[in-house]
Structure 1
Amino acid sequence: MDNPMKDTRMPMTSVRSGEGTEVLKDLYAYTVKIVNVVYAGSPERPGDGWVLMDAGLPGSAEELIGEAEARFGPGARPQAILLTHGHFDHAGAVVELAQHWQVPVYAHEAELPFVTGRSRYPDADPGVEGGLLAKIAGWFPNEPVNLEGHVHPLPADGTVPGLPGWRWIHTPGHTPGHVSFFRDADRALVAGDAFVNVRQDKLYQVLTQMEQLSGPPRYFTPDWPSAGESVRKLAALQPRTAVTGHGEPLAGEAFTAGLAELAAQFERVAVPDYGRYVDGKR
């Protein structure tokens, strides 16, 4: 395994960095600077096991291991690491975590080239309509991690390794193999970057974590038609709670209605007016 980003340190943070939120008794969202990772499993029943969803920014492995032990006890080790996708802020520490815990990693089959060192994601678009973070997106890491031999495709039947009762849903657009995770029993959703709860291209909003239900980060989304279909797919599930890759967790009727509105108005409110991956495709 190899992580070309391992020595990269991102000079950005937010007011929520280092904070955790117990969304449900068995769903805990922890913020690493600007991105959320999820610990799924009950600390009251550690024998049932738990999984880590996404793997934070480069250099965050020790922080995520420490948070795992604070929640599940000394030496806590997940049954698996699940990736919604492989961008630098969601897979930044995955190699180090997989090596430390010696556990398998799972991702969608279409995401495997980007987490086995075979393919790079499309370049960020610093010219896309958006704020300051969009303008500097060309400086963000885009080298693929290499989990060859240690990453596996998610089961074709939609089940989620280590999480009975959950299913994965293919939600492409932000990346080809982006997935979200959903539990039908209580309509809990881990959305990754299919949609987010803060405008990720706006520096002030990211720093303050100003809540705004939004489409995926503009500067790293190359397929807007698929992104819109993915949001509509998730809205049709009428989730009651959600953890997104960026921003505070969401819950309640206002969230469900807001997601339905985002889905209905996606092309108008989420798709940028211009950009490398937009021009000529609206």
Structure 2
Amino acid sequence: MTGIERTDLAGSRDGVREVADGVLMITRAVTNSYLVVTDDGLVLVDAGLPRSWPLLCRALEAVGGSPDDIAAVYLTHGHFDHVGTLRRLQRRHRVPLHVHEADVPLVRHPYRYDRESSRGLYPLSHPGGIPLLARMAIAGALGVRGVDARGDLVPGVAVLGGLVPVATPGHTYGHLALHLPDRDVLFTGDALVTVDPYTGRVGPQIVARAATADSRAALAVLAELTATAASTLLPGHGEAWTRGVDLAVAEARATGAH
């Protein structure tokens, strides 16, 4: 529908590609956000890193839109790598920003988050993540500025476009996945990723302790993802997963916390 490349191998390179009907994945530095074309207008799921802005504009152009046409941004959580373009969207284009109430302070201060291990020392014991973290830094990961978002996303209460928030606390205290039932798609944010920037490990998994508040809880809430029965999972980091949520969750549980 858009002329954008369609592939299931997203996340390994920068660009814009269609990964489901009316869903464009925007990837910069192994970090994904998603532009969703809905009957209620254009919706952005997560906001990537600051230097993903040109790719967001490319995605919007592909569907005949502009930043002014975004009806809402829905955040899975408030970490720095998911809020990088929010300030520009809010101040220049007056786009409404929404998140779970528990992550409102994190969106405002996106580097102040609880974690189980030191993020500074973690790469020393997991050198596979160093190239990915370096790419994120180049894409603006060290210079993200927070904003105020509306803490009005409620699990189970549908929002624009028929997106249904799913409570998945653990990575952050207010983390949500977003289910799009009519397209059999689940935006997992960092509740389940297919590449971990902190380790470089590929495959379905939760994010490393260096960026996760409670890994035990993060593993436990994978059951909430399974309950959606979604076929296509679109993570915050890594490739789209099209082999069903059950297999993805089974692999993530087998991998465990790291």
TM-score range, shorter chain: 0.7 to 0.9
- The two structures have a TM-score, normalised by structure 2, of 0.80
List runs of 5+ in structure 1 lacking aligned partners: 1-13, 206-210, 273-282
RMSD over aligned CA atoms reads 3.0
How far apart, in 2, do the equivalents of 1:87 and 1:175 lie?
Answer: 8
Tell me, yes or no, if structure 1 residue 213 matches structure 2 residue 204.
yes
1:270 and 2:253 correspond:
no
SS at match of 1:197: strand
Q: Which residue of 2 aligns with 1:31?
A: 27
The answer for the alignment partner of 1:147 in structure 2 is 147
In the alignment, structure 1 residue 259 sits paired with structure 2 residue 248: yes
Q: 1:184 to 1:66 in 2, by over 3 A?
A: closer
In structure 2, the CA distance between the partners of 1:189 and 1:75, relative to structure 1 (3 Å rule), is closer
Separation in 1, partners of 2:67, 2:130: 39
Structure 2 stretches of 5 or more lacking a match?
Answer: 1-10
Q: Which residue of 2 aligns with 1:125?
A: 119
Structure 1 residue aligned with 2:4: none
Whichever structure has more strand as a proportion of its residues is 2
For the 8 Å contact 2:204–2:249, the answer to whether it is kept is no
Q: CA deviation at 1:197?
A: 0.9
Structure number with greater Rg is 1
CA distance in 2, matches of 1:110, 1:199: 24
Q: Is 1:229 the equivalent of 2:226? A: no
Amino acid at match of 1:28: L
TM, length-normalised to structure 1 = 0.73
Q: For 1:187-207, what per-residue CA distance to the aligned partner results, in whole angstroms no more than 9, with x for missing partners?
A: 31000010111233234x6xx
Count of matched residue pairs? 240
1:244 aligns to what? 235
- Opposite residue 125 of structure 1, the aligned amino acid is R
SS in 1 for 2:51: coil
1:162 aligned to 160, 172, 196, which one?
160
After superposition, give the CA deviation of every residue in 1:200-223 in whole Å (9 maximum; x if it has no partner). Answer: 3234x6xxxxx5112124420120
3-state DSSP of counterpart to 1:68: helix
Match of 1:52 among 44, 48, 53: 44
Which of residues 169, 172, 179 is equivalent to 1:172? 169
Contact 1:180–1:194 (CA under 8 A) maintained in structure 2: yes
- Distance in 2, matches of 1:28 and 1:217, equals 26
Whether the 8 Å CA contact 1:95–1:147 is kept in 2: the answer is yes
Q: How far 1:134 moved relative to its partner?
A: 6.6
Structure 1 vs Structure 2: percent identity of aligned residues?
28
How much does 1:89 deviate? 1.2
Q: How far, CA to CA, are the matches of 2:185 and 2:195 in structure 1? A: 19
Amino acid at match of 2:185: A
Matched, 1:64 2:56: yes
1:80–1:161 contact (8 Å) kept in structure 2: no
Q: Displacement, 1:30?
A: 1.6
SS at match of 2:87: helix
